[in-house]
């Protein structure tokens, strides 16, 4: 059995940056699972001491994004004393930027979460993705920056949310043989539509795991190879009619697929 990796993400802000980096790095060690435990909004050394103690007890490591020098130095020293590996994500980069610019860092936590226009665009995009998920309201297709189409379990929803955090308004539409695709799909520019496809064996595994998670037998028609082949053939026929870009998501992380989509959208804009 593979041993899970425990990573404590310590920050004097929300800790989102550190968690994102850990997930990106941990993806390179699949199937090892990274158990990420955030310690956000750290303001004093006593809080750091508690995190280091927990990391020591659980055999975890610490990745930190502390911008306040005193806290950063305190954590480094605590890690050395307790024998806990502490990785400074921001410190070396901030020091390099100070040398390059000849200016001192502001040393203010959370500056990347300032409530500016970009922040509100992101919030709007996330709300949009939730509202128009799974074609609950097909009018979203006409308003979206990106429209994802594909069969069930091709990462449409996770991709929509990931792209929303990049400030894209995304609607997604499931393609099911028994349901006619919404007319709106054929009314928008093809360069806004991304078709998601996947290999039959890979989708078979994913759907079986989904059924197990729901407490259902994995022999259900939803995961049957014949049903998957039928759905994929139908989806392919619709994508050809739409003349849209098609991306195979087999064995691709959401981040990788999203990067391909964003690059394609940038090239076409």
If one compares 112 and 52, the residue with the highest pLDDT of the two is 52
Task: Please count the residues of the chain.
Answer: 269
Amino acid 111: pLDDT: 64
pLDDT at 110: 61
Share of the chain above pLDDT 90, in %: 72
Residue appearing with tokens 């995961």: 223
Residue 115 has pLDDT above 60, yes or no: no
- Spatial neighbors of 130 by CB under 8 A, at least 6 apart, are none
**Average of per-residue pLDDT values in the chain:** 91
Residue partners of 144: CB distance under 8 A and separation at least 6: 128, 132, 169, 170, 171, 192
Q: What is the pLDDT of residues 144-164, one digit of tens each?
A: 999 999 999 999 999 999 999
**CA pair distance 178, 112, nearest whole angstrom:** 46
pLDDT tens by residue, 186-202 = 999 999 999 999 999 99
The pLDDT value given to residue 1: 40
């Amino acid at each position: 059995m593979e041993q899970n990796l425990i990573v404590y993400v310590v920050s004097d802000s929300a800790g989102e940056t550190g968690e994102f980096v850990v997930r990106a790095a941990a993806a390179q060690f699949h199937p090892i699972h990274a158990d990420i435990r955030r310690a956000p909004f750290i303001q004093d050394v006593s809080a750091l001491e508690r995190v280091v103690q927990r990391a020591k007890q659980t055999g975890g490591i610490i990745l930190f994004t502390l911008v306040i020098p005193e806290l950063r130095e305190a954590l480094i020293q605590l890690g050395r004393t307790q024998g806990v590996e502490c990785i400074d994500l921001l410190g070396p980069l901030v020091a390099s930027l100070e040398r390059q610019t000849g200016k001192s860092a502001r040393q203010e936590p959370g500056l990347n979460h300032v409530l500016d226009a970009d922040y509100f665009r992101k919030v709007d995009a996330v709300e949009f993705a939730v509202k128009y998920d799974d074609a609950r309201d097909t009018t979203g297709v006409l308003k979206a920056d990106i429209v994802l189409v594909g069969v069930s379990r091709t990462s449409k929803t996770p991709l929509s949310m990931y792209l929303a955090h990049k400030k894209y308004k995304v609607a997604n539409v499931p393609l099911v043989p028994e349901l006619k695709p919404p007319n709106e799909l054929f009314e928008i520019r093809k360069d806004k539509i991304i078709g998601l496809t996947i290999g039959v064996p890979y989708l078979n595994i994913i759907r079986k795991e989904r059924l197990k998670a729901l407490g259902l037998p994995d022999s259900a028609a939803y995961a049957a190879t014949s049903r998957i082949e039928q759905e994929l053939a139908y989806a392919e026929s619709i994508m050809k009619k739409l003349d849209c870009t098609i991306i195979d998501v087999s064995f691709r992380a959401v981040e990788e697929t999203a990067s391909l989509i964003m690059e394609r959208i940038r090239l076409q804009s």
